[in-house]
Structure 1
Amino acid sequence: MKKRKQFKKKILIAGLIVALMAILTGCGYSTDPVTADSPGIWSHYIVYPLSWVITWFANLFGGDYALGIIIVTILVRLLILPLSVKQIKSQKAMTKLQPKMKELQAKYSSKDNETKQKLQQETMRLYQENSVNPMMGCLPLIIQMPILMGFYQAIYRTQDIFTGHFLWMTLGNPDPFYILPIIAAITTFLSSKVSMMGQTQQNKSMAAIIYVMPVMIFIMALTMPSALALYWIVGNLFTIGQTLVFNNPFKARREQAAAEEAIVEEARLKKKASNMKASKKGGKKRK
């Protein structure tokens, strides 16, 4: 029953992400060319600035709009880097809490509702005492959704970007050979896998996204502009590098294993001391 609930929760989270990304093909879409005089907060403060900065960098490098998109993608990721670093710190804190989480789970192992409620309360108290927010993991992704939507409209509403070329592709059209969608799916999987490798079991409630997201990205990239797939690939590569620099998952796993071994060893020594004490008492009674 517990696994079924966790699975439903994972699917719900993935569904919410699908719904957010579906905005790209629906609500708020406009085909009017975007300019500095475009009306509306969305067009004026999101779409036009993205269009302008991509065009500026493209002109700087001889009209290479693909390179402009790559540079802007890196700049966007640098802008949200502080938030991503905060997310990584939260993940590290979750990893350090793993031994205490296991102790709570062992202490409140009964399946009755009262015990489950007590476990939830103690878990939340543990999070608060250590300034841990388990929802930080999806925040950077949610923040990227409006940016991704802005990219989508900037491409369609800026003729030079839409008709720009990258290798064998036109940036405004899907990749005819499906190479970018495949790379986008692979890098999405690697990015999610590396990011979650060092996380605790509790923070893996979103683990289904590792497998769901690449499929979604692949399907979407089949019909969306190549420029968006390019944006997603560069962003994924940035995330992989960022994770390896700020939260090496291999090191995190070793630290977690060492902490768990220390807990086991401490419990073994306590049990040994308790047995020796009981044995001495039994010897005195026999005398």
Structure 2
Amino acid sequence: MILVLAGCGSMNPQTNPIDPANGFWDKFFIYPLSTLMNWFADILWGQYGLSILIVTILIRFLVLPLTLKQYRSSKKMQDIQPEMKKLKEKYKDDPKKQQEETMKLFQANGVNPLAGCLPLLVQMPILIALYHAIMRNGEISQHTFMWLKLGSPDPYYVLPVLAAITTFLQQKMMSSQMTSQMQALMFIFPVMIFVMSMNFASALPLYWIYSNLFTVVQSYFLYRRPSTNKGGPSK
């Protein structure tokens, strides 16, 4: 999220319209996404709120192979955690030896410690482009969806609350794959999302809510524990 906002803060979306002649970024990332949202809105009764939903789902399915790769990597790392703890205890007075043995453990189990990060880095340009495609699309800013004016913050704070709740839920679903330090952030990120959603145009937190709900469903199938009893419920 910090990377997304950093990439988006360099220009004012309200005064910098999308121009495919404006360079590589606008031509090959932002303009196609903006055009796609306009196209879906045209066939969905002019409802950009539904158009953002469809584009969100398409993007999430597009990056699903990367998400699955990240999941497999984190699962392998989780499986070798007991052995890593033993190595840390055994070589606690010899950090160099501890690092060497840890790398041998990674190689023996086919674990790449960077594999979980690379998919996220690949997704980041798409997220930044989608931000611009939403915020710099003049058609979106002029439309309403339910009680929302998509180019203005939600005056009733319903979206900020939903964005915060769904952020917490999607983190909760993935908590089994988090370290204790990451779990400590589970209450910080929803608060950050709430504060930002209060100030951003409604179209953006609407996208966050859609994306969070997709992640909740996806995480249910990826991270749920299999049943240990064939006839009993999952634990």
Pairwise TM-score range, normalised by the shorter structure: 0.7 to 0.9
Contact 1:148 1:228 in 2 (8 A): no
Match of 1:26 in 2: 10
Distance in 2, Cα, partners of 1:20 & 1:66: 21
Match of 2:102 in 1: 123
Contact 1:92 1:247 in 2 (8 A): no
Distance in 1, Cα, partners of 2:173 & 2:85: 23
Deviation at 1:121, TM superposition (A): 2.3
Contact 2:135 2:204 in 1 (8 A): no
Letter in 2 for 1:56: W
Distance in 2, Cα, partners of 1:104 & 1:246: 29
Q: Is 2:58 the counterpart of 1:75?
A: yes
3-state SS in 1 of match to 2:170:
helix
Question: Structure 2 matches for 1:59-208, cutoff 5 A?
Answer: 59-108=42-91, 110=92, 112=93, 115-199=94-178, 201=179, 204-208=180-184
Contact 1:188 1:213 in 2 (8 A): yes
Deviation at 1:135, TM superposition (A): 4.1
Equivalent position to 2:187, from 199, 205, 211: 211
Distance in 1, Cα, partners of 2:206 & 2:84: 40
Over the residues paired in the alignment, what is the CA RMSD in angstroms?
2.5
Structure 2: gaps of 5 or more residues: 229-235
Distance in 2, Cα, partners of 1:128 & 1:21: 36
1:97-137 deviations in Å (ceiling 9; x for gaps): 122123223322x3x3xx22322222222223222234444
How many positions carry a matched residue from both structures? 228
Q: Which has the higher helix share?
A: 1
Larger Cα Rg: Structure 1 or Structure 2?
1
Contact 2:4 2:124 in 1 (8 A): yes
3-state SS in 1 of match to 2:221:
helix
Q: TM-score, normalised by structure 1?
A: 0.71
Q: Is 2:213 the counterpart of 1:237?
A: yes
Q: TM-score, normalised by structure 2?
A: 0.85
Percent identity for Structure 1 against Structure 2: 45
Bigger Cα displacement from structure 2, 133-142 vs 169-178: 133-142
Deviation at 1:180, TM superposition (A): 1.0
